[in-house]
A and B are shown apart, each in its own frame.
Chain A
Amino acid sequence: MAAVGEALGIGARTDRARRGPRRPGGARGAFGILFAPVTLLIVLFLVPFLIMVQMSVVKFPPRTDSGYTLDHYVEVVTNPLNPHIAWTTFTIATTAMIVMLLVALPLAYFMVFKAAKWELFLLLALVLADELAPVVKVYAWQVILGRNGILNWLIPGPPVEWLLYSSFAVILTLATTYITYTTIPIYAAMKAIEPATFEAATDLGAGWWQQARKILIPLAAPGIFVAMILVYIPMLTDFVTSDIVGGTGSYMMGQRVRDLILGEGNWGTGSALNFMLLAMSVLLSLGAYRLARLNKIDA
């Protein structure tokens, strides 16, 4: 959940909240159990969120007594730079998502149905790969993709320039950063598929592509949607990756928000943009959730 936490700013806090003091059970059990996490959520998530909303609508943030305005939202919508950044962010995140699905689907299928005794090993490897600190991973890619990096050392001829500080580098790094969160939900969905289902399909004449299209992917769909919710949102707001391995062509929304607030001190526009990103993420999640529900199998 660490990745979601980074994105929404809640994961780490709720984790801490779960470990918080518990009141003994009894009749007030539910209240006792929920009191600490709910309080922490309010203090650490809802309050900053409300402050952010407030910043996006006051005239001269961070001063709150300067009157209200929607100018910051108008600025976000009318600034010609923003659609461009949004498009870059969307294409990079979507390409990385597609790359991850292309790896995760066969990988999860292999783990569930073919790996046998290697299944647990692969699962642990995936989890361990995620345990590595994200920033360390990003720097590792820098070493691999750089002008004098490992990859260029292996490729004969003059060094390939576009490997690092490019959209390619950002997509590759994002894809490897979130592969665990893409694979595990799909793996879990596939675990529920009865292996005889594929034998029955073979018996009825379906080839591997028909089986993948008509059996495997529809049955793994709930896992795919969960993976997309888990991964898409943090990618939309990621700024570390693009900072370290990205170039001028891969300037993303997360970086824009960071630069507006921390760089220019433009709290108003930064907050407005951040709020709109959050709203889009919520819409995306709801859409994915609905799709997953539609595909939910009646048990």
Chain B
Amino acid sequence: MSADRGVNPAGEILVEAVTKRFGDVTAVNDVSITIPSGEFFSMLGPSGCGKTTTLRMIAGFEAPDAGRIVLQGADVTHVPPAKRNVNMVFQAYGLFPHMTVGENVAFGPRIKKWSRDETRERVAEAIRTVRLDGFEDRRPGQLSGGQQQRVALARALVNRPAALLLDEPLGALDLKLRKEMQLELKDLQQGTGTTFVYVTHDQEEAMTMSDRIAVMNGGVVEQLATPKELYQRPASAFVAGFIGTSNLIELRVDRRDGGLLTMDLGDGQRILAVDDEPGAGAGSRAVERATITVRPEWIKLSTGDVASRASHVGGTVVEVVYLGSVTQLIVLLPTGERLTVHRLNDEVGAEEPRPGQQVMLHWAAEHSYIVGSEAGAAEIAANVETPIAGVISS
């Protein structure tokens, strides 16, 4: 992150140790985020996780109880929304129904008393940017949901904000339109170079568009990373569960050597995870139990020997669900846990396991990540505070 800082501070946003309470409820709890200029940044989480409150504090619609907000190098914690060089796109759009598209877009420039020529020029440009040419004289009520959304975007972008704040802007659209608008938003962001701060509860949406994502839960940032890092190296069980499908396995640590935590299941079967602190060596710290995660597509059915740095475990198929591109198996392990396994359907007529059948599973140790360990609780907490450092360096 520090490498990005200072390159172009025009749209940089700093959220510093911000806390917001509503009565007894702490909506946002000591959250710190740095959003470099020109980034497509998303805040992702279930409803009530504090993502919208954080966005509204950046916009100026809520005042934090503690901490500060810095925009373009200036402390704006107590500056009203109109005086901040950011604009917001609302979930309900908030279009002015009695004004035409052109008048809606020209609202900001007219309030700011730009010259007539400049207003006309910039409004036309903004309308062109969102591809609504020819719709200038329509009223919002005569437009489709997607078109209304674009008017809201143009109305915000015409002000040339340092950052555009979007609060679940696609929430009211149907799935197909949402997918189209996702790509359009990404294009728009790259075309204008504007910093986008995007709030959503839809993990797929966030993954599709974002440069980086802050996964939030219970008012704190669980992990802040690129979509790929979030998927491949979730920092917590919550992130693993929220981003895609994931298996959580309770690991009893029988051995700790060779940079691996090992649970022996006898008969050559074992479950492995890469050690968080490989330098620590055997017995240096009593890690007794750990929670590990593995994605369903990493798990393979095996017939013969498997590599030594791989988990290798047998189980009983209890459920087979054909999902199109993949077939999902639910496999019951001797430990009593159920693993979800995805098999890619890339062969015609390939033999499918049946419920009740015994199978052997394996996956590389590198594909299991520790998302929690009893003796390592302090370390997990540290991960939450500085997620990038905590996850990447591990």
Q: Pick from A4-12, A58-66, A151-159, A291-299 the stretch touching chain B.
A: A291-299
Whether, in the assembled complex, B96 has its beta carbon less than 8 Å from a beta carbon of chain A, the answer is yes
Alpha-carbon distance between A61 and B109 when the two chains are bound, in angstroms: 67
Query: With A205-B82, A298-B141 in contact, is A200–B112 under 8 Å at CB?
Result: no
| Residue pair A218, B98 in contact (C-beta under 8 Å) | yes
Q: For B386, list chain A residues within 8 Å (CB).
A: none
Whether, in the assembled complex, A136 has its beta carbon less than 8 Å from a beta carbon of chain B, the answer is no
Alpha-carbon distance between A205 and B141 when the two chains are bound, in angstroms: 24
| Residue pair B141, A197 in contact (C-beta under 8 Å) | no
Query: With A194-B92, A298-B142 in contact, is A204–B155 under 8 Å at CB?
Result: yes
| Residue pair A200, B88 in contact (C-beta under 8 Å) | yes
| Residue pair A206, B107 in contact (C-beta under 8 Å) | yes
Cross-chain pair count, CB within 8 angstroms? 70
> Could you tell me which residues of chain B, from 31 to 77, have a CB within 8 Å of some CB in chain A?
59, 61
Cβ-defined partner of B111 (8 Å) among A196, A204, A297: A204
Whether, in the assembled complex, B9 has its beta carbon less than 8 Å from a beta carbon of chain A, the answer is no
Query: With A196-B90, A297-B141 in contact, is A204–B82 under 8 Å at CB?
Result: yes
| Residue pair B91, A196 in contact (C-beta under 8 Å) | yes
Q: For A203, list chain B residues within 8 Å (CB).
A: 59, 81-82, 87-88, 156
| Residue pair B111, A200 in contact (C-beta under 8 Å) | no
Closest to B107 in A: A204
| Majority DSSP secondary structure for residues of B touching A | mixed
Whether, in the assembled complex, A91 has its beta carbon less than 8 Å from a beta carbon of chain B, the answer is no
Cβ-defined partner of B108 (8 Å) among A194, A197, A205, A218: A205
Whether, in the assembled complex, A284 has its beta carbon less than 8 Å from a beta carbon of chain B, the answer is no
Alpha-carbon distance between A205 and B88 when the two chains are bound, in angstroms: 12
- Beta-carbon contacts of A195-233 to B below 8 Å, as 1s and 0s? 111111111111100100011001100000000000000
Query: With A205-B111, A297-B141, A298-B142 in contact, is A200–B81 under 8 Å at CB?
Result: no
Q: For A196, list chain B residues within 8 Å (CB).
A: 90-94
Alpha-carbon distance between A201 and B159 when the two chains are bound, in angstroms: 13
Whether, in the assembled complex, B186 has its beta carbon less than 8 Å from a beta carbon of chain A, the answer is no
Alpha-carbon distance between A214 and B81 when the two chains are bound, in angstroms: 19
Whether, in the assembled complex, B97 has its beta carbon less than 8 Å from a beta carbon of chain A, the answer is yes
Query: With A204-B87, A205-B111 in contact, is A194–B82 under 8 Å at CB?
Result: no
| Residue pair A297, B98 in contact (C-beta under 8 Å) | yes
CB distance from B124 to the nearest CB of A (A): 18
Q: For B220, list chain A residues within 8 Å (CB).
A: none
Cβ-defined partner of B98 (8 Å) among A206, A210, A295: A295
> Could you tell me which residues of chain A, from 230 to 265, have a CB within 8 Å of some CB in chain B?
none
Q: For A298, list chain B residues within 8 Å (CB).
A: 97, 139, 141-142
| Majority DSSP secondary structure for residues of A touching B | helix
Whether, in the assembled complex, B95 has its beta carbon less than 8 Å from a beta carbon of chain A, the answer is yes
| Residue pair A210, B97 in contact (C-beta under 8 Å) | no
CB distance from A158 to the nearest CB of B (A): 50
Q: For A206, list chain B residues within 8 Å (CB).
A: 82, 107, 111
Alpha-carbon distance between A194 and B112 when the two chains are bound, in angstroms: 24
> Could you tell me which residues of chain B, from 113 to 142, have a CB within 8 Å of some CB in chain A?
139, 141-142
| Residue pair A197, B96 in contact (C-beta under 8 Å) | yes
| Residue pair B108, A204 in contact (C-beta under 8 Å) | yes
- Beta-carbon contacts of B146-157 to A below 8 Å, as 1s and 0s? 000000100110
| Residue pair B82, A297 in contact (C-beta under 8 Å) | no
Q: For B107, list chain A residues within 8 Å (CB).
A: 201, 204, 206, 214
Query: With A203-B82, A204-B159, A218-B98 in contact, is A297–B90 under 8 Å at CB?
Result: no
Closest to A202 in B: B81
Q: For A201, list chain B residues within 8 Å (CB).
A: 94, 96, 107
Q: For B91, list chain A residues within 8 Å (CB).
A: 196
CB distance from B114 to the nearest CB of A (A): 11
| Residue pair A202, B82 in contact (C-beta under 8 Å) | yes
Alpha-carbon distance between A295 and B96 when the two chains are bound, in angstroms: 13
CB distance from B134 to the nearest CB of A (A): 17
Alpha-carbon distance between A196 and B148 when the two chains are bound, in angstroms: 14
CB distance from A12 to the nearest CB of B (A): 36
Query: With A203-B87, A297-B139, A297-B141 in contact, is A197–B95 under 8 Å at CB?
Result: yes
Alpha-carbon distance between A205 and B61 when the two chains are bound, in angstroms: 13
| Residue pair A219, B97 in contact (C-beta under 8 Å) | yes
Closest to B167 in A: A196
Alpha-carbon distance between A219 and B81 when the two chains are bound, in angstroms: 23
CB distance from A214 to the nearest CB of B (A): 8
Q: For B95, list chain A residues within 8 Å (CB).
A: 197, 200
> What are some 16 contacts across the A-B interface (CB < 8 A)?
A194-B93, A196-B92, A196-B94, A197-B94, A197-B95, A198-B94, A200-B93, A203-B59, A204-B107, A204-B159, A205-B82, A206-B82, A206-B107, A214-B96, A215-B96, A298-B142
Closest 3 A/B residue pairs (Cβ): A200-B94, A196-B94, A298-B141
